[in-house]
């Protein structure tokens, strides 16, 4: 896992705070974190994510709060992929690492994707599948994801690009248009739990490429 700071680090900061309210919140989040990382149940993860959201004021700095939620969702997807999807060596799951999107004899360019499946070649990942994970999907975030996916597909047309999200606030027409660059959209909410569809979609793709079990 390449993320320099992970959700457990944010939790530990709260638990060691000089303020009692933050320490109590840290202990609550620690218990919830331990539960969902064991069960991988969506309802347990969403309870953890909602606790973060409801305590935005207590957690503090906006950047701290936003990254905490974002990295937690990435970790949830990462753990699902590691636990639920059979991937043949030398391919493996990577979290927050740079993937190669262009190279010539002298230069190369890489983009950091939230998650990827591929193999490490030197400093970068050579991906077969990449994922964006968005707690809240709006038009700006979708357009950013499209740009990254489009650059990857120019370099590697066979690469699979998927987007996972919890809530969505955007025009359905934009979502349809985005399917020109994004191979799958999957919502992770209690109202529309597409976890199994996400895992099945990926497993089927890997089987067709003879890269999965």
> 60-115: per-residue pLDDT in tens?
765 678 899 999 999 999 999 999 999 988 899 999 999 999 999 889 999 999 99
Report yes or no: 99 and 112 within 8 Å, Cβ to Cβ.
yes
**Residue-level pLDDT at 165:** 98
**Residue-level pLDDT at 213:** 57
**Residue-level pLDDT at 63:** 60
Q: What percent of the chain has pLDDT over 90?
A: 83
Average pLDDT value over all residues in the chain: 93
Structure token pair of residue 37 = 């990382």
Report yes or no: 159 and 182 within 8 Å, Cβ to Cβ.
no
**Residue-level pLDDT at 171:** 87
With H, G, I as helix, E, B as strand and everything else as coil, classify residue 7: helix
Looking at the predicted structure, is the pLDDT value of residue 3 above 80?
no
In the chain, alpha helices (H)? 7-15, 20-39, 42-54, 56-59, 62-84, 139-155, 172-178, 195-208
**Residue-level pLDDT at 65:** 81
Looking at the predicted structure, is the pLDDT value of residue 2 above 80?
no
Looking at the predicted structure, is the pLDDT value of residue 30 above 80?
yes
Report yes or no: 117 and 81 within 8 Å, Cβ to Cβ.
yes
pTM exceeds 0.75, yes or no:
yes
How many other C-beta atoms can be found within 10 angstroms of the C-beta atom of residue 21? 12
**Residue-level pLDDT at 62:** 56
Q: What percent of the chain has pLDDT over 70?
A: 96
Lowest mean pLDDT across 2-6, 96-100, 168-172, 185-189: 2-6
Question: Exposed, middle or buried: residue 55 (CB in 10 Å: 0-12, 13-18, 19+)?
Answer: middle
- CA 182 to CA 56: how far, in whole Å? 32
Of the CA atoms within 13 Å of residue 170, those in its CB half-sphere come to 20
What distance, in Å, lies between the first and last C-alpha atoms of the chain? 23
- CA 112 to CA 148: how far, in whole Å? 9
**Residue-level pLDDT at 212:** 58
> 196-212: per-residue pLDDT in tens?
999 999 999 998 877 65
Residues 6+ away with beta carbon under 8 Å from 130 = 99, 113, 115, 116, 117, 148, 149, 152, 159, 160, 161, 162
């Amino acid at each position: 896992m390449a993320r320099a700071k992970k959700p457990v680090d944010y939790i530990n900061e709260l638990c060691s705070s000089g303020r009692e309210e933050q320490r109590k919140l840290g202990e609550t989040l620690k218990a919830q974190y331990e539960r969902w990382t064991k069960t991988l149940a969506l309802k347990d993860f969403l309870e953890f994510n909602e606790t973060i959201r409801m305590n935005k004021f207590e957690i503090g700095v906006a950047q701290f709060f936003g990254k905490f939620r974002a990295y937690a969702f990435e970790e949830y997807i990462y753990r699902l992929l590691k636990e639920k999807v059979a991937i043949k060596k030398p391919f493996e799951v990577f979290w927050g690492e740079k993937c190669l999107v262009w190279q010539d004899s002298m230069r190369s360019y890489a983009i950091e994707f939230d998650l990827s499946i591929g193999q490490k070649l030197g400093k970068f990942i050579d991906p077969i599948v990449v994922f964006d994970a968005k707690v809240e999907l709006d038009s700006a975030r979708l357009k950013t994801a499209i740009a990254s996916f489009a650059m990857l597909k120019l370099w590697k047309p066979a690469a699979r690009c998927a987007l996972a999200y919890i809530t969505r606030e955007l025009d359905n027409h934009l979502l349809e248009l985005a399917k020109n660059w994004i191979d799958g959209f999957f919502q992770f909410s209690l109202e529309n739990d597409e976890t199994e569809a996400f895992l099945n979609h990926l497993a089927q793709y890997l089987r067709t490429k003879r890269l999965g079990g």
